[in-house]
């Protein structure tokens, strides 16, 4: 009997997971700008969901916490070392896959028409506890489950169910508490540190300020409310200009918020805003503005969002807190004078025993490249290795003192006043040994770097009224240069220095070229692009007038119009 051969084994069907991207995120009913990527074929249960780190922190309540093994990302008891998380870039923002957290806490997600929706059932506030004595500024909310923690402009929004009695208790201790559709709103508390805990579920808010003083009634418009502030009104009588104007570049309307003062203002002067003592870390712009008594402020230059280190020139009162990189655009100035605009390098070298000169690539910088870099006490009290293969020498009073191996640098090497640490990366040879005589010299490529105050961003947009946008020469990628995003700009015309933020009003933000053309319409002569996107922020009298993504961001440095 003839037997037919068995049928062939079915070929397994291979289905690739869909990748959907969008530009808006809706969290607990509030929509903000922000890139995201959904991986998976199910519209309600993704395999992966990539969300910018800044959005997770600002709109959900994730926090970065320090551990013995370095920083970790934590949300309601689930903690993952930051260095182990896979990261990808979305519209120049650092994003991670949030799906493991969402699945564990039953966070509902969906997407439609470019909008990612995130929701979490609001838990009940079971108990309110206020600290005493030194912890009187601490508030603990005992919850029936995890909650969304959002920062919107100046306010902290908690996705919780709270009773009228509990609301009254918060008001009784001097907090501006208000129940709304998002849950509980604590006005003026967006820059307060928060901590989310599990087993049991708790939300801890530190540094709360009691505010029983009468405030200017809000008009519902942040700019109009700022203009009603008595300090702003007094400064306006002395030459301050604070307004918003809309220009059309092609068919795109662009709104420009601007704050400006005459160069010879007797009441306000331009100053960099930077943390003193250590360059590692990022902060809310209000935390940088308040110590300097800045009446107006915008965010400043670029920084590494994961390592939270500066990426560009920052000089305050003659001290280089961070050196320039990649010949990028920068401003330099002396109080009361016009600003200098140009691209900037800092040429550093060290000569060993009167012989060969060695180039030192970067000064106090988070920009990690093969070769030699130099760090001083302006970087902070301690230098810790920024890459896997490093060695270093310490130089003081023209003499090489110590040699430091990889293990010692990983733990941290003290940086004392008058000491330079010369760090070698990726196998670059160290130029000196202990006992060698060393001389270090540095020379800026432009008079910008000779000024006592310097801040870099990039690209340079305008110089002497002419467009000089050449981003590739400043080391920016083609993708960055073509990106539409909120912008922060420092500029000047014939009589004023201006701090400005820009955004689109019809759903599309300006590109760098559109920003340049809008500034020309406004009559600017010189202009420099600063860090934008989610970093974009304008403060007036410590009130948030505008943010790039609707989220209160943390930044590395800023620029302020400071009371003389």
pLDDT at 221: 86
Buried b / exposed e along 257-273 (16+ C-beta atoms within 10 A): bbbbbbbebebbbbbbb
Residues with Cβ within 8 Å of residue 126, at least 6 apart in sequence: 142, 143, 144
From first to last of the 564 residues of the chain, give the pLDDT tens digit. 444 455 555 544 445 679 999 999 999 888 988 899 999 998 888 999 999 999 999 999 999 988 887 889 999 999 999 989 999 999 888 999 999 999 999 999 999 999 999 999 999 999 999 887 777 789 999 999 999 999 988 899 999 999 999 999 999 888 899 998 889 999 989 888 899 999 999 999 998 765 544 443 344 589 999 999 999 999 999 999 999 999 999 999 999 999 999 999 999 999 999 998 888 899 999 999 999 999 999 999 999 988 999 999 999 999 999 999 999 999 999 998 999 999 999 999 999 999 999 999 999 999 999 999 999 999 999 999 999 899 999 999 999 999 999 999 999 999 999 999 999 999 999 999 999 999 999 999 999 999 999 999 999 999 999 999 999 999 999 999 999 999 999 999 999 999 999 999 987 999 999 999 999 999 999 999 999 999 999 999 999 999 988 888 999 999 999 998
Structural tokens at position 489: 């700009």
Residue 359 CB burial class (10 angstroms; 0-12, 13-18, ≥19): exposed
Three-state secondary structure call for residue 345:
coil
Q: How far is 308 from 64, CA to CA, in rounded Å?
A: 11
Three-state secondary structure call for residue 33:
strand
Does residue 464 contact residue 501 with C-beta atoms inside 8 Å? Answer: no
CATH topology assigned to domain 346-444: Jelly Rolls (2.60.120)
| Residue 150 β-bridge partners | 157
Lookup result for tokens 């650092």: 94
pLDDT at 66: 85
Single pTM value for the model: 0.90
H-helix or E-strand spanning residue 403: strand 399-404
**Helix H segments across 339-413?**
406-411
Does residue 179 contact residue 162 with C-beta atoms inside 8 Å? Answer: yes
- SS3 readout for 98-141: CHHHHHHCCCEEEEECCEEEEECCCCEEEEEEECCHHHCCCEEE
Q: How far is 225 from 80, CA to CA, in rounded Å?
A: 41
pLDDT at 7: 54
pLDDT at 218: 40
Q: What are the angstrom distances between the C-alpha of 177 and each of 86, 180, 209, 238?
A: 38, 10, 12, 36
pLDDT at 211: 52
H-helix or E-strand spanning residue 379: none
pLDDT at 2: 44
Q: How far is 105 from 183, CA to CA, in rounded Å?
A: 19
Residues with Cβ within 8 Å of residue 382, at least 6 apart in sequence: 412, 413, 414, 415
pLDDT at 63: 93
Q: Are strands 115-119 and 19-27 parallel, antiparallel or unpaired?
A: parallel
Q: How many helices (H) and strands (E) does the chain have?
A: 9, 49
H-helix or E-strand spanning residue 337: none
């Amino acid at each position: 009997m003839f037997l037919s051969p068995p049928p062939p084994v079915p070929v397994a069907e291979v289905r690739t997971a869909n990748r959907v991207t969008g530009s808006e995120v809706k969290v607990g009913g509030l929509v903000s700008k922000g890139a995201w990527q959904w991986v998976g074929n199910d519209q309600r249960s993704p395999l992966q969901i990539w969300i910018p780190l800044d959005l997770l922190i600002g709109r959900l309540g994730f926090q970065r916490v320090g551990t013995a093994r370095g920083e970790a990302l934590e949300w309601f008891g689930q903690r993952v070392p930051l260095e182990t998380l896979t990261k990808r870039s979305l519209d120049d923002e650092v994003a991670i896959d949030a799906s493991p957290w969402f699945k564990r806490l039953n966070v509902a997600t969906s997407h439609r028409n470019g909008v990612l929706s995130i929701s979490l059932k609001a838990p009940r506030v079971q108990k309110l506890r206020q600290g005493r004595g030194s912890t009187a500024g601490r508030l603990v909310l005992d919850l029936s489950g995890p909650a969304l923690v959002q920062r919107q402009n100046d306010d902290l929004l908690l996705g919780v169910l709270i009773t009228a009695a509990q609301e009254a208790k918060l008001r009784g201790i001097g907090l501006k508490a208000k129940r709304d559709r998002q849950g509980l709103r604590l006005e003026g508390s967006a820059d307060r540190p928060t901590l989310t805990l599990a087993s049991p579920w708790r939300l801890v808010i530190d540094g709360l300020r009691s505010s029983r003083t009468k405030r200017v009634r809000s008009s519902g418009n942040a700019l109009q409310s700022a203009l009603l502030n008595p300090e702003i009104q007094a400064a306006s009588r002395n030459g301050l200009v604070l307004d918003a104007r809309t220009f059309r570049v092609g068919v795109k309307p662009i709104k420009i918020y601007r704050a400006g003062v005459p160069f010879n203002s007797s009441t306000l002067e331009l100053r960099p805003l930077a943390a003193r003592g250590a360059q590692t870390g990022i902060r809310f712009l209000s935390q940088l503005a308040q110590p300097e008594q800045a009446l107006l402020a915008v965010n400043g230059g670029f920084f590494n969002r994961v390592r939270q280190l500066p990426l560009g020139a920052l000089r305050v009162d003659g001290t280089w807190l961070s050196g320039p990189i990649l010949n990028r655009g920068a401003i330099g100035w002396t109080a009361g004078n016009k600003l200098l605009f140009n691209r900037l390098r800092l040429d550093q070298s060290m000569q060993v025993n009167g012989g060969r000169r060695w180039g030192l690539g970067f000064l106090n910088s988070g920009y990690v490249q093969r070769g030699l870099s130099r760090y001083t006490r302006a970087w902070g009290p301690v230098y810790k290795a920024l890459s896997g293969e490093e060695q270093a020498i310490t130089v003081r009073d023209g003499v090489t003192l110590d040699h430091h191996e990889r293990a010692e640098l990983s733990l941290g090497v003290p940086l004392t006043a008058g000491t330079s640490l010369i760090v070698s990366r990726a196998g670059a040879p160290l130029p000196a040994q202990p006992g060698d005589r060393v001389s270090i010299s540095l020379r800026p490529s432009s008079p910008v770097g000779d000024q006592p105050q310097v801040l870099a961003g990039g690209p340079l947009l305008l110089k002497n009224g002419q467009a000089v946008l050449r981003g590739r020469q400043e080391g920016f990628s083609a993708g960055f240069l073509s990106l539409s995003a909120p912008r922060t700009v420092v500029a000047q015309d014939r009589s004023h220095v201006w701090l400005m933020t820009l955004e689109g009003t019809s759903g599309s933000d300006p590109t760098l070229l559109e920003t340049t053309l809008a500034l020309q319409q406004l009559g600017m002569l010189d202009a420099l692009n600063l860090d934008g996107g989610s970093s974009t922020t304008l403060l007036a009298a410590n009130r948030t007038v505008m943010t790039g993504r609707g989220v209160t961001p943390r930044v590395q440095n800023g620029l302020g119009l400071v009371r003389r």
